């Protein structure tokens, strides 16, 4: 709800659990009054206003008429520079006369009973008509520049989106030197900053640090939002943890260069800002022209990080994912990449598909290597015609055969890239992102296409339409495998080069808008060497993202844990891969690989035609079980319980809307000797209900027991590593002892579930759990009345 106190010139934005209050100061500036837990509405919030009662030495006062008011110490709604605010600005303009002072004051507001759309950029949507938008117009006191600040309120997910639109209403051209999406100022500095950082195969690592005076900045200058710094940050009070404490989360709905800053001023105010990176950004605005920034979303939780993440998850599921894909179950896929890499032919793929079908897989995704003469990563990007040696019947032929097997067909493309060794490059070298007279630096042997050139966008649209149509594909994996270098467009004028990174994104988004309209039934998966572009901008077009090229189960515990800070499970591509892990050479149990991947959009990415009998049976049961619980696994309310960043274990869970059913993932890195007692503390259940807790039926490979096999497992005499041991290990499914517990909801939630102790070097009985190195369990919790 948005309430305006006309007389007091105050705006109160209310969500279910938060309030955001602004006011117009006597000087006309729009000031931030309060952001936090929801407040009852009052006709006047002046008791909360900042007091400006005397001038501050060393700080310019705003004007003779307002001698006690200093912008430097005010909580403003949009930081500008030139009138005494020395903090980083959100908007910086060079005016026609070369002056660079901007002073914005209040002009008026408009209230809309809907979400106002944002042109040309991905943005929050509101298919169920839940949102309201407040548009506040500011104008410069001298120059003919107008800024509209948009605030859209999404009450059920405690989120508010913000963006600004700058219009040049004067006679001369102006230049935007910086245009971030929002400013939010707090009057104190009692915060820590939590962000997601990483690198290839090591995405979304948690980084929590104290703030101190000065600017802490995280950004991307790579052309993509990047795995190095996700366009997201949280300010948390120092004592906040997963379940307690105040957290302010911010994320950008954008996929290009971004910049986030948390700044503590000399007077102990904290400013947070997020938007397009101002590095290498200048945007000329001719008379009459306007510029809209991407939207940022902010959410407040006073119940710790879990609630903040649930707000983000709800926001993404209801207001970012296209309505066509909201709440739709993601298919179980097999992807041939780690099974074959570039080395495949039609019969190899069909064997893989047949086996996948037998195991219960629903979608076959043909990865890289099906086009041009692409037998390695050094050629053919841009040439989306059939690789006839590998696929004599073309991609259309294999697609048909896959469908005949009863599987859906999906295909990999990397449209924004070009190989030097390609027909496209030979024809259009000027379409590549390269600088005149400089040898371009290659990344993965390839160059980036100039997406700021509408001819390139048009070419790609035609090519992709052709591929998608003739293969009748129902799934597209859209890759983007290098960061930018040699940034220059041969299509743009000299003046436009400064905004190239953003123009690239506008071109890419234009292509995606067109494809989304043309192929609404295709499920797109975004990928950028894994999670190098995992952001809400891409999710707007593509309801899931390939979380990481690292499919090792242990590494994935951290990557998926970190990713869950912002992104819901149904958006995270998560695959079971082979042994050892192709990224880290670690061997983990097939059941753990599944138990981790099950909390995501599940897939298999290994050579299914070479499975042992043990693996085959385990996988068949995994897929059947996943399908049975898929709704909960993809859309349940998610809680992080134990952090792999701080512990030898990871735990997380999903719970149904009613709290009657839940699944807990429990993961161990290394087995510890003589370990103490463990309890499971689930969240989100109903204290007044009684629950049964049971482990998912899973299997152990007796190879794990080596020479202890005969002592620990009652079985005919086996010689460790003997031929017979191998045969039995590959065929025999040793069921893990089922754990079954019964507990009242209140005891379960408040007291925690005492788990059976782990194996302790003594004996193997049903009283112990044998988890072992890289072992795991999934606990299924059901309210007793619901027991089938």
- Which range touches ligand GLA (CB under 6 A), out of 6-14, 274-282, 509-517, 522-530? 522-530
- Residues contributing to the annotated binding site: 200, 367-368, 444, 477-481, 527, 549
Helix (H, G, I), strand (E, B) or coil at 787: coil
Query: What is the nearest approach in angstroms of ligand GLA to the Cβ of residue 622?
Result: 21
Helix (H, G, I), strand (E, B) or coil at 471: helix
- Which range touches ligand GLA (CB under 6 A), out of 79-87, 153-161, 525-533, 724-732? 525-533
Q: Which is nearer to ligand GLA, 479 or 555 (CB)?
A: 479
Sign (positive/negative) of CA torsion 615, 617, 619, 625? negative
Q: Nearest to residue 56, comparing CAs of 263, 214, 266, 212?
A: 266
Within a 13 Å sphere around the CA of 447, how many CA atoms are in the beta-carbon half? Answer: 26
Query: What is the nearest approach in angstroms of ligand GLA to the Cβ of residue 368?
Result: 3
Q: Which is nearer to ligand GLA, 274 or 527 (CB)?
A: 527
Using CB under 6 A, which residues numbered 729 to 758 contact ligand GLA? none
Cβ neighbours of residue 147 under 8 Å, at least 6 residues apart? 78, 91, 104, 137, 138, 139, 164, 165, 166, 167
Q: Nearest to residue 28, comparing CAs of 65, 55, 81, 72?
A: 65
Sign (positive/negative) of CA torsion 416, 420, 424, 426? positive
Q: Which is nearer to ligand GLA, 388 or 444 (CB)?
A: 444
The single residue among 191, 412, 425, 759 that binds ligand GLA, judged by CB under 6 A, is 412
Q: Which is nearer to ligand GLA, 368 or 420 (CB)?
A: 368
Cβ neighbours of residue 190 under 8 Å, at least 6 residues apart? 237, 238
Within a 13 Å sphere around the CA of 390, how many CA atoms are in the beta-carbon half? Answer: 25
- Residues contributing to the annotated binding site for substrate: 200, 367-368, 444, 477-481, 527, 549
The single residue among 88, 479, 552, 615 that binds ligand GLA, judged by CB under 6 A, is 479
Q: Which is nearer to ligand GLA, 545 or 634 (CB)?
A: 545
Neighbours of 270 (CB within 10 A): 22
699-700 and 247-252 strand pairing: unpaired
Q: Which is nearer to ligand GLA, 183 or 227 (CB)?
A: 227
Residue nearest to ligand GLA (CB): 368
Triad 79, 83, 87: Cα angle to 5°: 40
The single residue among 249, 410, 530, 684 that binds ligand GLA, judged by CB under 6 A, is 530
Query: What is the nearest approach in angstroms of ligand GLA to the Cβ of residue 201?
Result: 9
549 has catalytic annotation? yes
Cβ neighbours of residue 191 under 8 Å, at least 6 residues apart? 211, 235, 236, 237, 238, 262, 270
The single residue among 481, 564, 592, 683 that binds ligand GLA, judged by CB under 6 A, is 481
- Cβ density class 178-208: b for 16+ within 10 Å, e for less: bbbbbbbbbeebebbbbbbbbebbbbbbbee
- Which range touches ligand GLA (CB under 6 A), out of 165-173, 311-319, 524-532, 612-620? 524-532
Binding marks (x or -) toward ligand GLA, 532..571, rule CB under 6 A?
A: --------------x--x----------------------
397-401: list long-range contacts, CB under 8 Å, 24+ apart.
397/346, 398/346, 398/349, 398/350, 398/366, 398/370, 399/366, 399/471, 399/472, 399/473, 401/346, 401/350, 401/353
Q: Which is nearer to ligand GLA, 194 or 395 (CB)?
A: 395
- 619 sits in which H/E element: helix 613-635
Can residue 368 be called a binding residue for ligand GLA (CB under 6 A)? yes
- Which range touches ligand GLA (CB under 6 A), out of 2-10, 126-134, 324-332, 526-534? 526-534
The single residue among 508, 529, 570, 583 that binds ligand GLA, judged by CB under 6 A, is 529
The single residue among 106, 191, 325, 337 that binds ligand GLA, judged by CB under 6 A, is 337
Helix (H, G, I), strand (E, B) or coil at 166: strand
Using CB under 6 A, count the residues that bind ligand GLA: 12
Task: Find the catalytic residue in 158, 479, 535, 552.
Answer: 479
Task: Find the catalytic residue in 549, 690, 746, 785.
Answer: 549
Task: List residues with catalytic annotation.
Answer: 479, 549
Question: Which residues contribute to the site for ligand GLA (CB under 6 A)?
Answer: 337, 367-368, 377, 412, 479, 481, 527, 529-530, 546, 549
């Amino acid at each position: 709800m948005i309430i305006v106190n006309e007389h007091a010139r105050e705006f109160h934005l209310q969500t279910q659990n938060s309030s955001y209050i602004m006011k117009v100061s006597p000087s006309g500036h729009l000031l931030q009054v309060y952001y936090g837990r929801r407040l009852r509405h009052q006709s006047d919030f002046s008791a909360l206003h900042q007091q400006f009662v005397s001038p501050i030495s060393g700080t310019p006062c705003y004007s003779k008429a307002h001698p006690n008011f200093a912008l430097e110490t005010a909580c403003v709604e949009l930081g500008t520079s030139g009138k005494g605010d020395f903090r980083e600005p959100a908007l910086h303009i060079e005016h026609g006369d070369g002056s660079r002072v901007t002073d914005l004051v209040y002009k008026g507001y408009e209230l809309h009973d809907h979400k106002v759309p944002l042109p040309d950029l991905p943005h929050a949507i509101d298919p169920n008509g839940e949102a309201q938008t407040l548009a506040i117009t500011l104008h410069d006191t001298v120059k003919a520049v107008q800024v509209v600040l948009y605030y859209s309120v999404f009450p059920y997910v405690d989120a508010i989106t913000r963006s600004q639109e700058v219009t040049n209403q004067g006679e001369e051209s102006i230049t935007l030197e910086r245009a971030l999406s929002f400013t939010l100022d707090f009057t104190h500095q009692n915060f820590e900053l939590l962000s997601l950082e990483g690198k290839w195969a090591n995405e979304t690592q948690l980084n929590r640090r104290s703030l101190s005076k000065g600017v802490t900045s995280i950004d991307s200058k790579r052309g993509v939002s990047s795995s190095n710094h996700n366009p997201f940050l949280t300010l948390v009070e120092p004592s906040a943890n997963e379940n307690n404490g105040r957290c302010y989360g911010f994320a950008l709905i954008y996929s290009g260069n971004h910049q986030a800053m948390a700044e503590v001023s000399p007077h102990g105010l904290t400013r947070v800002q997020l938007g397009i990176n101002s590095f290498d950004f200048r945007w000329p605005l001719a008379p009459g022209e306007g510029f809209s920034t991407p939207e940022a979303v902010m959410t407040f939780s006073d119940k710790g990080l879990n609630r903040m993440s649930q707000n983000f998850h709800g926001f993404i599921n209801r207001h970012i994912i296209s309505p066509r894909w909201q709440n739709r179950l993601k298919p179980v896929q097999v992807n041939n990449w780690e099974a074959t890499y570039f080395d495949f032919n039609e019969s190899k793929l069909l064997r893989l598909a047949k086996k996948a079908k037998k195991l219960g897989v629903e979608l076959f995704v043909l990865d890289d290597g099906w086009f041009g003469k692409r037998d390695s990563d050094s050629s053919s990007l841009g040439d989306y015609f059939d690789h006839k040696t590998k696929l004599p019947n073309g991609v259309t032929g294999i697609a048909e055969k896959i469908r005949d097997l009863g599987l859906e067909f999906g295909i990999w493309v990397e449209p924004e890239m070009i190989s030097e060794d390609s027909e496209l490059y030979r024809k259009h070298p000027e379409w590549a992102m390269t600088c005149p007279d400089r040898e371009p630096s290659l990344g993965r042997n390839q160059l980036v296409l100039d997406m700021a050139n509408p001819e390139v966008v048009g070419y790609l649209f035609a090519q992709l339409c052709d591929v998608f149509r003739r293969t009748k594909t129902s799934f597209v994996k859209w890759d983007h495998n290098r960061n930018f270098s040699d940034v220059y467009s041969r299509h743009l004028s000299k003046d436009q080069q400064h905004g190239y990174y953003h123009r690239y994104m506008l071109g890419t988004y234009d292509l995606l808008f067109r494809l989304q309209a043309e192929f609404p039934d295709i499920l797109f998966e975004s990928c950028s060497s894994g999670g190098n572009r995992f952001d809400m901008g891409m999710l707007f077009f593509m309801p899931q993202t390939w979380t990481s090229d690292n499919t090792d189960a242990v590494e994935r515990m951290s990557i998926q844990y970190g990713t869950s800070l912002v992104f819901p499970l149904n958006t995270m591509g998560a695959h079971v891969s082979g042994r050892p892990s192709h990224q880290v050479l670690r061997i983990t149990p097939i059941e753990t690989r599944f138990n981790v991947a099950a909390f995501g959009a599940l897939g298999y990415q290994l050579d299914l035609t070479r499975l042992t009998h043990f693996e085959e049976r385990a996988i068949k049961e995994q897929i059947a079980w996943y399908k049975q619980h898929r709704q909960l696994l993809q859309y349940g309310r998610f809680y992080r319980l134990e952090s792999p960043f701080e512990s030898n274990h990871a735990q997380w869970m999903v719970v149904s809307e009613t709290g009657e059913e839940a699944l807990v993932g429990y993961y161990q890195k290394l087995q510890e000797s003589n370990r103490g007692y463990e309890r499971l503390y689930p969240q989100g259940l109903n204290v007044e209900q009684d629950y049964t807790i049971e482990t998912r039926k899973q299997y152990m490979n007796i190879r794990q027991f080596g020479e202890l096999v005969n002592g620990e497992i009652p079985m005919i005499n086996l010689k460790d590593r003997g031929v017979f041991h191998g045969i039995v290990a590959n065929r025999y499914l040793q069921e893990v002892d089922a754990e079954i517990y019964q507990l009242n909801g209140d005891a379960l939630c408040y007291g925690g579930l005492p788990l059976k102790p782990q194996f302790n070097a003594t004996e193997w009985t049903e009283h112990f759990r044998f988890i072992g190195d890289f072992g795991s369990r999934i606990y299924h919790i059901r309210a007793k009345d619901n027991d089938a």
